[in-house]
Amino acid sequence: MEKKDINWGELGFAYMPTDYRFVSNWKNGAWDDGALITDPNIVISECAGVLQYAQTVFEGLKAYTTEDGRIVCFRPDLNADRLEASCKRLQMPVFPKDRFVEAVREVVKANAAFVPPFGSGATLYLRPYMFGSDAVIGVKPATEYQFRILCTPVGPYFKGGVKPLTVRISDLDRAAPRGTGNIKAGLNYAMSLYNIVDAHNCGFDENIYLDPGTRTKIEETGGANIIFITKDNKVVTPKSDSILPSITRRSLLQVAQEYCGLEVEEREVELAEIGEFAECGLCGTAAVISPVGKIVDHGKEICMPAGMTEMGPVTKKLYDTLTGIQMGRLPAPEGWIVEIM
């Protein structure tokens, strides 16, 4: 298979239409067989549930080329599980896990020419999503839905690759207590747009959100969970009901313990204690692990001892180990790597 003529090393995190996308429709209480199609456009009712009441959920995962030339995906079953949780919360039908994983395979295979080569620094990002597609005017769930998976080759999420980021403590909240912060609903991102544009205008790479109940504890950023490393090399990550259960973060905790021999703690993290940590990183599918060099809390700068030029040593070890597993350089725990071709 001949690869597309793309300058892989120059890719940022942006959308580029690829050759095929998977589509399945829910109507009269059942999913149809689904198919790969070539048309990137969607025609739906002007009154569709997604347009009126934001009834839409999504996922994000990647396909990687391994050093020995295979194409693999990382834990797609967990994306299917999280999509199920998101769908249930927004009164949407569940797309069965086995069909989800099969559709991921089909999309990656059909777009194999867009999977960036090993060592290019780029990957194929897959975006499974579902939305209410028929008309609703009263506030209620749609009765018809569309599930799709699009894919696009991407480079680093943050400009500058793995250069440490400067993030700020946000004055706005991304989630409400007992709200939807723990699912991947489009509405959680719509309400973050004002704040991310403002953060960028003020010179920050991202917003750190505090717990919406008390605003004293660290939660996550707009698009990634957070890990901290203590001065004695423990991995600490915030525990909260209103953050997204990141697949990267959950994998990293296991990697830290089983591959790197590090202690891990999932617990409440006070805003007041972040000056005591040695390293900080943002973790997610798009972010992978992006190091944080400086956290700014209303003018007060909290500088991570790891500095602003490179990733701290423990973060680097975790990064190398996780990406080593994802790219087939290191043996993976059972079931983590799904071979596509």
Catalytic residues: 184
281 is an interface residue for ligand PLP by CB under 6 A:
no
Residue placing its CB nearer to ligand PLP in the complex, 126 or 247: 247
223 binds ligand PLP (CB under 6 A): yes
When CB distances are held under 5 to 8 angstroms depending on the partner's kind, the choice from ligand COI, ligand PLP, none that residue 246 binds is: ligand PLP
- Residues near 332 by beta carbon (within 8 Å), at least 6 away in sequence: 325
Contacts with ligand COI by CB under 6 A lie at: 60, 223, 284-286
Residue written as tokens 């703690």?
A: 265
Beta bridge partners of 30: 27
Are 199 and 209 spatial neighbours (Cβ–Cβ below 8 Å)? no
Q: Which residue, 62 or 294, is less far from ligand COI as judged by CB?
A: 62
The residue (of 57 and 247) whose beta carbon lies closer to ligand PLP is 247
CB of 231: closest distance to ligand PLP in angstroms?
26
Question: Beta strands 288-297 and 165-169: pairing type?
Answer: parallel
Report d(CA 181, CA 186) in Å as an integer.
11
In angstroms, the Cα distances linking 101 to 18, 104, 108 are 19, 5, 11
Total interface residues for ligand PLP by CB under 6 A: 12
Q: Which of residues 40-69 bind ligand PLP (CB under 6 A)?
A: 60
Closest CB 60 distance from ligand COI, rounded Å:
2
Report what 220 binds from ligand COI, ligand PLP, none; CB cut-off 5-8 Å by kind: ligand PLP
Q: DSSP string covering 90-140, please?
A: TT-PPPPHHHHHHHHHHHHHHTGGGSPPTTSS-EEEEEEEEEE-SB--SSS
Write out the residues near ligand PLP by the rule CB under 6 A.
60, 220, 223-225, 244, 246-249, 284-285
